[in-house]
């Protein structure tokens, strides 16, 4: 199957509502406790019920997904691990884990909205991986991310997850997004939304250009381009 055909098979999921609800009901209370020093991490939180309405569109099977939220020396790294290792005592698989790493700097912010904006974007990304894993066999080894940024960004799973993350950031700053006038403006905005793209540009400038082009094409397909790039109504 050609890569373009495969990319076109990936879909947008209505994850914004889910991620917002998980933040408000699960992560926000925990973050307030973390900031107050009452707890040091959040782990093994079952968030399956939040995903159930979406997952039931694609499978009747049971599933389990748990969330870990922890401080890390590499806070920009987040992990989608599916499935968890089997529990040898009970001989049962535990399901899927999503691990969100955070920095001390992030929690030091007084603006809870800024914390939410970042975390919900990351949640959208990782939950997209989960829904994609339900719908189709992976074309890449997500459990072992490559150290080559271009190989990482160009996989269909990552492209789809990043588009969901970008969609969230666009929704939170529509005025900024709709005021973009050139493709160079869009490129700068995408790097602002996804700082890891800077590493790709340093590693492989042509690969960076290819990924930006791919993202813009997908944004066009989803009608998410800035207002200045939309067809003029007659």
pLDDT-based confidence at residue 5 (cuts at 50, 70, 90):
very low
Domains of the chain by residue range:
3-12+148-229, 16-135
Average pLDDT of the chain is 83
Q: What is the mean pLDDT of residues 106-116?
A: 88
Instruction: Report pLDDT for 140.
Output: 56
Q: What is the mean pLDDT of residues 50-63?
A: 85
- Assess whether pLDDT exceeds 70 at residue 2: no
- Assess whether pLDDT exceeds 90 at residue 208: yes
Residue 8 or 203, more confident: 203
Rounded to two decimals, the pTM is: 0.83
pLDDT-based confidence at residue 181 (cuts at 50, 70, 90):
very high
- pLDDT digit string (tens) for 78-101? 666 655 544 444 434 457 888 888
Question: Among 102-106, 117-121, 139-143, 199-203, where is mean pLDDT lowest?
Answer: 139-143
- pLDDT digit string (tens) for 149-170? 898 898 888 999 999 999 999 9
| 3-state per-residue secondary structure call for the chain | CCHHHHHHHCCCCCCHHHHHHHHHHHHHHHHHHHHCCCCCCEEEEECHHHHHHHHCCCCCCCCCEEEEEEECCCCCCCEEECCCCEECCCCEECCEEEEEEECHHHHHCCCHHHHHHHHHHHHHHHHHHHHHHHHCCCCCCCCCCCCCHHHHHCCHHHHHHHHHHHHHHHHHCHHHHHCCCCHHHHHHHHHHHCCCHHHHHHHCHHHHHHHHHHHHHHHHHCCCCCHHHCCCCC
- pLDDT digit string (tens) for 187-207? 999 999 999 999 999 999 999
- Assess whether pLDDT exceeds 80 at residue 144: no
């Amino acid at each position: 199957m050609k890569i373009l055909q495969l990319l076109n098979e990936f879909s947008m999921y209505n994850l914004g509502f889910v991620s917002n609800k998980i933040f408000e009901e699960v992560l926000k209370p925990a973050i307030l406790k973390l900031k107050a020093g009452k707890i040091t991490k959040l782990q093994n939180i079952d968030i399956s019920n939040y995903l159930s309405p979406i997952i039931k569109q694609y499978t009747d099977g049971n599933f389990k997904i748990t969330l870990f939220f922890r401080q890390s020396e590499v806070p920009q790294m987040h992990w989608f691990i599916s499935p968890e290792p089997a529990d040898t005592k009970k001989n049962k698989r535990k399901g899927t884990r999503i691990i969100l790493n955070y920095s001390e700097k992030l929690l030091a912010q007084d603006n809870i909205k800024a914390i939410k904006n970042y975390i919900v974007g990351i949640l959208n990304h990782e939950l997209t991986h989960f829904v994609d894993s339900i719908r189709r066999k992976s074309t890449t080894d997500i459990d072992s991310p490559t150290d080559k940024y271009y190989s990482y960004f160009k996989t269909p799973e990552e492209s789809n997850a990043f588009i969901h993350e970008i969609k969230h950031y666009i929704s939170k700053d529509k005025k900024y997004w709709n005021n973009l006038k050139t493709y160079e403006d869009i490129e700068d905005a995408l790097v602002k939304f996804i700082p890891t793209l800077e590493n790709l540009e340093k590693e492989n400038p042509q690969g960076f250009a290819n990924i930006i082009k791919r993202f813009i094409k997908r944004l066009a397909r989803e009608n998410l381009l800035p207002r200045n790039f939309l067809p003029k109504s007659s």
